[in-house]
Amino acid sequence: MRPNPLLMTTPPVVERLHMGPGRRIVAISDIHGKLDYLKGLLDKCELKPDDAIVLVGDLLEKGPDSLGTLRYVMELSKRREVHTVCGNCDFWQNFCDLPDDKAQDAFYLQYLVGRNRGWGDGIIAQMLKEQGVEIGWKMDLAAAKAVVRENYGPELDFLRALPHIIETEDYTFVHGGLRPEKGAFACMKLDAYRTVAKPHEKWTVVGHWPLVLYHEDITDARPIVDEDLKLISIDGGCVLKDDGQLNAFFLPDMTWTSYDGFPTARVKTAQEASQRHYYIRHGDNEAEILAEDGEFVRCRHIRTGYVMDVPADFIRTREGSRVTVNDITDYRLPLKAGDVISVVRKTSRGYMCKKDGISGWYEGEIEGV
Ligand SMILES: [Mn+2]
């Protein structure tokens, strides 16, 4: 989302909450419009009436159902204690609230027509389509804003009311990281916060940066609890990564669960972890094609020289033999007979799968759970 000139300079809104000692808090971040994952995850959480839920930003955008997710969270907030932090994908009230501005409108038009750079319809597009407004380069943006303003008052009010930071007696929740002196936007969009953060006085829970990006040679979406920094990172890469997951982190227990929607199966035979493996990821995914067999393409990762076979449809862009590759690992998971895995894809060379938040491959046979 385009940095908002107002948010660049305005200080973050801080909401202070009294939670009471020992209260169970369920923290979830980066749902990104993936309502089925949110529902699946909440089912797994086995919520008790007294539990509080804190959504740590990025409810919206990139996934399939931003409007449905927003409505679900609004409805859930009426039934039980839910607190939501604003993420860098959430402040769409500005579509209606910002003064008319040519550059800003050009951004909104690009966002609507370009379907958020190819991610798919975002919340404003979903609202407009629900109202039968046609989206195109020649659309009347002022009229579209009026339609949203008239028909989505409660939704806009909900977004307007979101704080950027939630403080309880024991914890801080912020989407990107704590940089209050730099303004609201800096707190929402602080990339790779764990690599720049200073130790916190209170345990601080953040989302925003997919956990897999903190690892070099393994695709690991498990929450990271950094004792030195008192920092808990929980973005499982839901929607952003094909095999991403939605994590729920439980306080004060410091335990977690996750949901990913893939079918599960039991492995029939044990296998050892690979000794050498790599994770090609977004931002560092340039490769050169060495060979192709239809289903798989043998690539050499340009920066590291690592050679990996990837499914042919993981090639994103191609110019001659130079390609970019969708996130992928060749890690062979360590498994015991009877272990339960999530099956992401079946190939002629085994299963692309996940076990406890870690992605990899299994070469043996499976049976249903
Ligand atoms: Mn996000």
Dump pLDDT digits (tens) for 336-359.
Answer: 999 999 999 999 999 999 999 999
Which token pair is 344? 């992401």
Query: What pTM did the predictor assign?
Result: 0.94
175 CA to centre of ligand 1 in angstroms: 8
- The alpha carbon of 90 and the centre of ligand 1 are apart by a number of angstroms equal to 10
Q: How far is ligand 1, taken at its centre, from the CA of residue 87, in Å? A: 7
Could you report the per-residue pLDDT of 24-72, keeping only the tens digit for each? 999 999 999 999 999 999 999 999 999 999 999 999 999 999 999 999 9
Q: Where do the DSSP E strands lie in 12-66?
A: 14-16, 25-28, 52-55
List CB-based neighbours of ion ligand 1 within 5 Å.
Answer: 30, 58
Strands of the sheet with 350-355, listed across from one edge:
358-362, 350-355, 340-347, 264-267, 366-368
| CATH class belonging to 5-91+162-259 | alpha beta
Residue found under tokens 């929402």: 188
253: tokens are: 């227990």
300 Cα–ligand 1 center, Å: 30
Domain boundaries, the chain: 5-91+162-259, 264-368
Please tell me the distance between residue 181's alpha carbon and the centre of ligand 1 in angstroms.
Answer: 22
**Cα within 13 Å of Cα(14), Cβ side:** 12
126 C-alpha vs ligand 1 centroid, how far in Å?
19
Give pLDDT tens digits for 287-299: 999 999 889 999 9
Adjacency order of strands within the sheet including 231-233: 14-16, 165-167, 171-174, 203-206, 231-233, 224-226
What pLDDT is stored for residue 216 in this prediction? 86
Number of H helices, E strands in the chain: 10, 23
Angle, helix 66-79 to helix 123-130, in steps of 10 degrees: 90
196/201 Cα distance (integer angstroms): 16
Let me know: does 204 contact 26? Beta carbons within 8 Å.
no
pLDDT at 1: 54
